[in-house]
Structure 1
C-alpha cells in the first residue's frame, strides 16, 4: 500500500448543491494504516471511488461534532459491515462521539439484528471501539503516532487539529478553526499542512444568498480562517506543502483556483494545492 492522501469531500459546511462538492472528509494511507479523517456526507462513496475496499476500514478520526464532519460516520461503518467488514475498527473522536455511535446503532437496531440472525454477520457493535480524546497524544502504535491540538472554533469547544506521523512523514490537519498561531508550532516542518480556508469576498457572496446573513457571516468570520491567514500559519510552520481544504465557498463558479492562489500568495510562497473532491496526493 503506497502512502497517499485523498480528499474525499472538500467543501465547508453541510449543504450540498447540484454538481457541487461534498462536505469534509479525507483518506490518509500512512505507515500501513488506512485512516479516515472526518465523515461528512459522501465519505462512503468517496472511499469507494478512491479504490478502497470498505472491508479494509481501519481507523476513523473525527475532529469535532459538527454535522459536516460526523454525519456519515455511522452509515460508513454500517456499509463497510455489509461489504464484509469483520475486523475491529477504532473511532477516535472528541467527547460525545460515543453518543453519536450509540445513537446510530439504536436507530438501526432492527436492521443490525436482522442481518446478524439472517445473514450470519458478526455483531457490528462488538467490532467498533470508540476512543474519546482530548488535547495531547492520541495514538502511538505500529509506527504511527497521532497528536491533537485544541483549536478555536466557537461555539464548539472540543475541536482538534490532528498531526499524523509515520514512515518519516508528518501530515497535519487544521480542522475547523479561526486563525490560531499556536497551530504553526503544532504543524512545524509538516510535509503537508491541510488547512481550512475561506475567501472573504466569497463569504459575502454566500451570505447574500441566505436568509440568515448577519448570523451566518458572524459565525464564519469568528470561527474560520481566511486563506491569507492559512498561508501565514504554513509560513510560520515552515511546511513542505500547503493544501487548502474545507473551502468556503467551494461551489461558487465566480471563485476558482486563481482567486485562492491570489489570496494565499501574499503570505505563503511555497507549494500550494487547492482541494477538490477526488484529489489524490502520493506521499512518495
Structure 2
C-alpha cells in the first residue's frame, strides 16, 4: 500500500506558480504481515502432517494392545496369582534351575511320589539333573528350594458311626544328602491334620478333604548335593499339572 505526502511550496511565490509534488512512500508493515501469514500457514501444514503421521503409526499398536487386554485379561490375572506359575516363571529366568511335576502310580511297588522333568511346565537347565528321583546340585552356592504336595483325602472309612472321629495326618519333607555333612539332613518339613471333627459332614458330598503343603526357603548347597522328598499318604496325592511340584534355582 502506498502513502502520499505533500511538500510545501515557496510561500513567497504566488498560488499559481506554486508546484505541489506528491512523493510515494512504500510501507514495510504490510510486507511483514504478509510474510508472517505465509510462515504461519506453512507451520500449520507441517504440524498437521506430523500429527497425521503419529496417529497413523500409533493407532494399530493401541488397537492391538486393547484387543489383547480384552481377550487375555482373565487368563493373565489367574496366572499371576498362581504360585506354581510364579515359581516356574522366576526359575525359568535363572541361569541354573529345575522344576519338576509330581506323579503317582498305584501299580508301582515303591509306593512313592515320582518326579518328572518332561511333562507340563517341568524343565531342567544350567547343569541341574534328576537322578533316581533326586535333584543333583550343579555348583556350590545359594539356592531357593521349594516343593508343594496337594492331597485330597476321603475321610469316610465305611463306618458311619466313626466317620467323624477319624484323624489323618499329612506330611511332606525335603531332605538333603551332602558329603560335607557326611549324611542326610532334613531341610524343611510340615504336617497337616485332616478329617477332624467335621469329617462326617464333609464326606456327605463324597469329595473328602483337600489340603496342600507348601515348603520353600533359601539354602547354601554344595556341588553334588542331592535333594529329595518324603511324603506320606501317597495314594491321596493330587498329581494334576500345578498341584504337586518340586524345584530349585540358583540365586
Whether TM exceeds 0.5 here: the answer is: no
**Higher-helix-fraction structure:** 1
Return the structure number with greater relative CO, CA threshold 8 A, min gap 6.
2
Look at both structures and tell me which one has the larger radius of gyration over its CA atoms: 2
TM-score tier, shorter chain, comes to under 0.3
Bigger proportion of residues as strand:
2
Structure 1 length normalisation: TM-score? 0.22
